[in-house]
Structure 1
Amino acid sequence: MDEEQTKIMTLEAFADTIIPGEKRSPDDHAIAGVSEGGGAVAAGALELLHDQAAGVVAGLPYLAASLNGHAQTHAAERGLELDGSLPAFVALSYPDRVAVVERLTTPGHPEKDGWVLLALFSNMAFDVAAHRHTVEALESGHPGLLAMGFTKPDADGLWRFAEYSYGAELAKRHPDTDLDTGSLA
Structure 2
Amino acid sequence: MEYLWSFLEREWIDVTNKSILDSQTKFDEVSNKVTKALKNTGNFLNDLAGNEPIALPHTLWFGILDLAQNLIQKSTRTATYGLCYYLAIESLNKAPSSFIQFKAVEILLHLHNIDSKMFSMIDDDFDQYIKELNKNNKSSDFSEKFQNLLLFIKEKYLEDLKILSENIEKEKKGKGKGKV
TM-score calculated relative to the size of structure 2: 0.32
RCO higher in structure (CA 8 A, sep ≥6): 1
Higher Rg of the two aligned structures: 2
TM-score calculated relative to the size of structure 1: 0.31
Higher helix proportion? 2
